[in-house]
Amino acid sequence: MAGIKTIPVSVDEHGLDVEEGIRRAPNAALAVVTAGQQAPLGVTLSLPRRLRLLEWADENGSWIVEDDYLSELQLVGRAAPALASQDRSGRVIHIGTFSKTINPGLRLGFVVAPTSLANRVADTAAALAPAASITCQWALAEFMRKGHYLRHLRRMKRTYTARLAALQRALSIPATTEAMAGLALLVHLPQGADDVAISQQALAVGLAPLPLSIWYADAAQARSGLLLCVTNVPDEGIEDCCSRLVRFTEAFI
Ligand X SMILES: Cc1ncc(COP(=O)(O)O)c(C=O)c1O
Q: Which residues contact ligand X (rule: CB under 6 A)?
A: 34, 39, 67, 69, 97, 99, 104, 109
At its nearest, how many Å lie between ligand X and the CB of residue 246? 26
At its nearest, how many Å lie between ligand X and the CB of residue 34? 6
Amino acid at 98: F
Q: Which is nearer to ligand X, 39 or 222 (CB)?
A: 39
Nearest to 71 by CA among 106, 41, 19, 109: 109
Distances 114 to 70, 119, 121, 221 between C-alpha atoms, Å: 21, 10, 10, 36
Distances 59 to 8, 28, 54, 117 between C-alpha atoms, Å: 21, 12, 9, 18
At its nearest, how many Å lie between ligand X and the CB of residue 252? 26
Q: Which is nearer to ligand X, 199 or 249 (CB)?
A: 199
Residues with Cβ within 8 Å of residue 194, at least 6 apart in sequence: 224, 252
At its nearest, how many Å lie between ligand X and the CB of residue 67? 5
At its nearest, how many Å lie between ligand X and the CB of residue 125? 13
Q: Which is nearer to ligand X, 100 or 244 (CB)?
A: 100
Count the alpha carbons within 13 Å of 169 in the hemisphere toward its beta carbon: 11
Length of the chain: 253
Q: Which is nearer to ligand X, 215 or 248 (CB)?
A: 215
At its nearest, how many Å lie between ligand X and the CB of residue 39? 4
Q: Which is nearer to ligand X, 81 or 104 (CB)?
A: 104
Q: Which is nearer to ligand X, 39 or 111 (CB)?
A: 39
Q: Is-contact 197 252, C-beta < 8 A?
A: yes
The CA distance from 152 to 143, in Å, is 10
Residue 167, SS3 per DSSP: helix
Nearest to 64 by CA among 10, 100, 25: 25
